Structure 1
Amino acid sequence: MRHKYLQLEVEISACRTQGLQQQAVLAIGQELNRRALGGPAPAAWINQVRHRGSLLGSQLEDPLYSDQELAYIQQGEEAMQRALGILKDQEGWKKESRQANGDEVLSKVIPDVGKVFRLEVVVHQPMERLYEELVERMEAMGEWNPNVKEIKVLQKIGKDTVITHELAAEAAGNLVGPRDFVSVRCTKRRGSMCVLAGMATLYEEMPQQKGVIRAEHGPTCMVLRPLAGSPSRTKLTWLLSIDLKGWLPKTIINQVLSQTQESE
């Protein structure tokens, strides 16, 4: 009986995460269509944050950051560098699934991270509109992303870093229990490319909630680039890593997730 319950819970867990990337990308495109119709290495960069040069010789300086804020900034930078490093390494990726339109989900196992998933798609929207929806209107994500029930910005630090709380949408039957995430997110523009990265963090003002399992993202990132020869479309590369926590072994979650993706 316990074995059957374990199998049922694993299946429910898979339903929570199956097709996560494809569903979200599709939802982004649908939301944007609806609207249409109606830097340097982390350590070097952190050392420059406290005191920046004045603009055109003025004596004005950016506000100083607290040690905790600097720690969040550095954590966001490190998440971005780690995620980009994973994407840059072309070795060891295995095909998980392939869609009829040619989109593929790849995966590999990273030491100290676990299994990560990579998706590359072309979104039929300009990069600036994607940036607006994913960054500037982040708190509205729950209105169109089927995997997100609610997302709130808990703290904004400078121009590029935010702390967020995300409540995942509940799975059918809710046998696994609701999950939430507290993450530090970092956004950088590098020429025509935009990188959105993040990872789990600790935030005293948002302790673990009763009855909700605190899951973890990261490192994760989205890389947005205008499609060569077609600036009205965007190439999106998404690196996804999620630890659902709870008592289910990661190996079982990854195995069921992989099988589910292949069946889509």
Structure 2
Amino acid sequence: MLLATFKLCAGSSYRHMRNMKGLRHQAVLAIGQELNRRVRGDPAPGVWINQVRRQSSLLGSLLEEPLYSDQELAYIQQGEEAMQKALGILSNQEGWKKESQQANGDKVLSKVVPDVGKVFRLEVVVDQPMDRLYEELVDRMEAMGEWNPNVKELKILQKIGKDTVITHELAAEAAGNLVGPRDFVSVRCAKRRGSTCVLAGVATHFGDMPEQKGVIRAEQRPTCMVLHPLAGNPAKTKLTWLLSIDLKGWLPKTIINQVLSQTQMDFANHLRKRLESSPTAEARC
């Protein structure tokens, strides 16, 4: 019985099943009942106690993982799907056209993707290690409005586990006020894959953040930033940012293209200044 119980536990740890409340509750309840029965009826519990100890890591992880609601699971899935979609776009090297390039090598490329629209791709090298960028872009996400003039405010509305958050971002006017204020509600997720970090996001609905008066609710299509150490120089980081946004409202395409490509170039410049002027977490401690 105990072995069968642990098999039930193991079943709940699979990716598509481990967050199902009913199954997890059943598994924990069954273990509790089995242990109580053994205590009452077995005068020499050494064997089954050893069995329990051998499975302690599995049971511990089962009990420690948060129980997600259906809505939270939907947000997690949205983030993962956006990441896969964005990475798929970046992996296709065909059809990219240069929008702009700076003397330091920073460049913005673009192309039109079926069912997505026009996407923009920023490629830069930053003279900071990857962990420093991750700290600023993920751990200190809400401080972005302090150093990026294109962002008036960025707030985390909800955290879901360790990788996923729901955010509200209020963007500043652009193109000499031709583009009025926009805001975005997005689900974002951050994943580390070996020496590479991927930060992805997409527009979502969050009931506690309705549209704001005087602000157009724009939508972020699948987008992501990819960070990895520069080959041969881990003290520097290659940053690739795929940007795809529906600004809503009536705007000429030429204005949209200008705003989005310039937003990416501005971001790279402001990020460098922030990293140079702001101390690392170790220094702050």
Secondary structure at the residue paired with 2:205? coil
Question: How many residues get paired?
Answer: 219
- Matches of 1:174 and 1:155, distance apart in 2: 31
**Is the 1:164–1:182 Cα contact (8 Å) retained in structure 2?**
yes
**Is the 1:96–1:258 Cα contact (8 Å) retained in structure 2?**
no
Q: Which amino acid aligns with 1:118?
A: R
When residues 94 and 173 of structure 1 are mapped into structure 2, their CA distance, relative to the original with a 3 A threshold, is closer
Aligned to 2:150: 147
Pairing partner for 1:237 from 222, 237, 240: 240
Secondary structure at the residue paired with 2:88? helix
TM-score normalised to structure 1 length:
0.75
Q: Kindly indicate whether residue 189 of structure 2 is the aligned counterpart of residue 200 of structure 1.
A: no
- Matches of 1:220 and 1:57, distance apart in 2: 35
When residues 258 and 237 of structure 1 are mapped into structure 2, their CA distance, relative to the original with a 3 A threshold, is closer
Aligned to 1:35: none
Give matches, 1:31-50, under 5 Å: 45-50=15-20
Aligned to 2:255: 253
- Matches of 1:188 and 1:87, distance apart in 2: 16
- Matches of 1:198 and 1:119, distance apart in 2: 16
Question: Post-superposition shift, 1:116?
Answer: 0.4
- Matches of 2:177 and 2:124, distance apart in 1: 31
Question: Post-superposition shift, 1:48?
Answer: 4.1
Secondary structure at the residue paired with 1:90? coil
Aligned to 1:156: 159
Question: Post-superposition shift, 1:103?
Answer: 2.4
- Matches of 1:85 and 1:166, distance apart in 2: 25
Pairing partner for 1:74 from 69, 74, 77: 77
Give matches, 1:25-174, under 5 Å: 45-50=15-20, 56-59=57-60, 60-171=63-174, 174=177
Larger relative helix fraction: 2
When residues 57 and 48 of structure 1 are mapped into structure 2, their CA distance, relative to the original with a 3 A threshold, is closer
- Matches of 2:262 and 2:184, distance apart in 1: 23
Post-superposition CA distance 1:1-47 (Å, at most 9, x none): xxxxxxxxxxxxxxxxxxxxxxxxxxxxxxxxxxxxxxxxxxx8454
When residues 179 and 257 of structure 1 are mapped into structure 2, their CA distance, relative to the original with a 3 A threshold, is closer
- Structure showing greater radius of gyration is 2
**Is the 2:75–2:187 Cα contact (8 Å) retained in structure 1?**
yes
- Matches of 1:157 and 1:103, distance apart in 2: 34
Pairing partner for 2:219 from 216, 236, 243: 216
Q: Which amino acid aligns with 1:253?
A: I
TM-score normalised to structure 2 length:
0.70
CA RMSD of aligned residues (A): 2.6
Aligned to 2:283: none
- Matches of 1:183 and 1:177, distance apart in 2: 19
**Is the 1:115–1:254 Cα contact (8 Å) retained in structure 2?**
no
When residues 119 and 256 of structure 1 are mapped into structure 2, their CA distance, relative to the original with a 3 A threshold, is closer
**Is the 1:46–1:74 Cα contact (8 Å) retained in structure 2?**
no
In structure 2, the gaps of 5 or more residues are: 1-13, 28-54, 267-285
Secondary structure at the residue paired with 1:69? helix
Question: Post-superposition shift, 1:154?
Answer: 0.1
**Is the 2:108–2:261 Cα contact (8 Å) retained in structure 1?**
no
- Name the % identity: 76
Secondary structure at the residue paired with 1:162? strand
Question: Post-superposition shift, 1:170?
Answer: 2.6
When residues 256 and 202 of structure 1 are mapped into structure 2, their CA distance, relative to the original with a 3 A threshold, is same
**Is the 2:121–2:243 Cα contact (8 Å) retained in structure 1?**
yes
Higher relative contact order (CA 8 A, sep 6+): 1
Pairing partner for 1:226 from 211, 223, 229: 229
- Matches of 1:104 and 1:178, distance apart in 2: 26
When residues 255 and 161 of structure 1 are mapped into structure 2, their CA distance, relative to the original with a 3 A threshold, is closer
- Matches of 1:193 and 1:144, distance apart in 2: 25
- Matches of 2:262 and 2:159, distance apart in 1: 37
**Is the 1:120–1:238 Cα contact (8 Å) retained in structure 2?**
yes
